[in-house]
Amino acid sequence: MSLLLDALTREKIVAIFRGIGREEADGAARALAAGGIRLMEVTLNTDGALPILARWREQLDGQAHVGAGTVLDERMAREAVAAGAEFLISPNLDEAVVEYGASRGVSVWPGVMTPTEIVRAWKAGAEAVKIFPMASLGHRYLQELKAPLNHIPMLATGGVDLDNIGDYLRAGAAAVGLGSKLVQLELARQGRFEEMERRAAAFVAAVRAAEAGG
């Protein structure tokens, strides 16, 4: 098991930053780290994503692992890794991205939906897959996938919130991806970073409660 996969399955939350401003990104990331979030991605369709990623890699060293999201092809993967990405996440499956990550020792968790796509990604070398869009599919769909494919770690992304995170973990998710439910852009824009930290801590507590059988 790689360092990043171990972190993913242990911490169980990936915070997704999409559309955040450069000025707010650093304070928001520090707030989430203070609240206990240990994996964060900035999506590459965010303005200034690569500089944000580079700053995070330096500022959050030893506090959180940082990666790139919405990595659609190998060119984007190369740019993200050059900026310091420790992991790459996509909404799609592009085997070239998986192969590039493997060649550089960078974890790649591609987006898939069907059993066929999941197995394709696994055979291509992905150590985990992102099931997307979970908001439409729901945790029961994930539970059905895990029955025959329980050997493949799955990251549930979309539709997960504070009230149902336990349902996804109990359904077999190795971890969950959390966007606006965790990274609330309005709070960041207003500089209300203490509230963001409290929100992060609440999600971390919900994960631990689910692990304890709550």
Residue 141 to residue 136: CA distance in whole angstroms: 10
- How far lies 148's CA from each of 5, 82, 107, 152, in Å? 21, 37, 24, 10
For the sheet containing 87-89, what is the strand order?
107-109, 87-89, 65-69, 39-43, 13-17, 175-178, 154-157, 129-131, 111-112
**Active centre residues (catalytic):** 41, 130
Q: Rounded to a whole number, what is the distance in angstroms from the first to the last CA of the chain?
A: 28
Rounded Cα distance between 168 and 89, Å, is: 19
- What are the DSSP calls for 142-207, one per residue? HHHHHTT-TTS-EEEESS--TTTHHHHHHTT-SEEEESTTTS-HHHHHTT-HHHHHHHHHHHHHHH
**Six-digit token string for 210:** 């689910």
Q: Minimal CA–CA distance to 156: which of 140, 184, 133?
A: 133
| Unique residue bearing structure tokens 């900035």 | 42
